[in-house]
Copies of this chain bind each other. A is one copy, B any other.
Amino acid sequence: MLTATATRTSPLPMGQVAQLPPAEGYPAGPHPAATPSARAAATTLLDGLPGARPGVTFARDQEIVADGTPAHACWEILSGCVRLVSLTDDGRRQVTDFLYPGDIIGLEALDTFDYSAEAVTRATLRRVPRGAIESRAATDAAFAGALRRMLAERMRAARARLVLLGRMSAAQRIAHFLLEMQARIGTPGSPTFDLPMNRSDIADYLGLTIETVCRGLTDMRRRHLIAVSRTHITLRDAAALPAALEQLH
């Protein structure tokens, strides 16, 4: 498939072991990326675990983990955007998550990955052996609790998406998506942000087709709710966005 090669961003030796941070001070929530200040935080959940490698850079669309392969390691996202992808038996694609800096790939893996992870943009990630995570969790209760809270928050987000996919119209899905993106990658107070993913990724995330996503965005633009260029979004009236959808059409 993809032939691009991962390249280290730093020449540090592998297997470096840093001193363990104190049990306190783990990020409270699982999505530090949601708060821009935390996005640049010097310390993240998996800092200082033994066996962690320095950052590895992946090119756009490059596969980070492959569906069905043994889950020997987790990957913590340091920069960029990653999508988790699952396929149906007959080959249709569903993006089950977009991940951002601070998020971790593979927390919920058991023996093998049941999805593949691909770089949406050029992205830097840190590989951490699952054994290191497990043993740290076994000895450090605060760390284990932080992991559990992170999983719990992801579970809540997934549940919200079940409602979106099961019961919302195309227009509602798109509007909720824009608001979610604003919250995760936007700057608080600013109505504009850039989408890291293309229309195809958005469509597969929302359970729609590319064309329906386009039409939905165009419709919102015509109603002066948003401004759209290829990647740049401006929410002209974020508060009105959900309300405008209740009446549909």
Chain A positions within 8 Å of B, measured between CB atoms, are: 84, 86-90, 92-94, 96-97, 107-110, 114-115, 134, 137-139, 141, 144-145, 147-149, 151-156, 158-163, 165-168, 172, 204, 206-207, 242, 246
Contact = CB atoms under 8 A, between A and B. Distances in A.
A203 to B, nearest CB: 10
Main SS at interface, chain A: helix
A94 B152 contact: no
B166 A110 contact: no
Copies of this chain, whole number: 2
Given A162-B161, A167-B88, A246-B89, A144 B148 contact: yes
6 contacts: A84-B159, A88-B168, A94-B162, A96-B163, A138-B145, A158-B162
Nearest to A203: B166
Contact of A155 (B94, B154, B246): B154
Interface centre among A107, A145, A148, A163 (most CB of B within 10 A): A163
Contact of A96 (B153, B154, B162): B162
A166 B109 contact: no
A152 B107 contact: yes
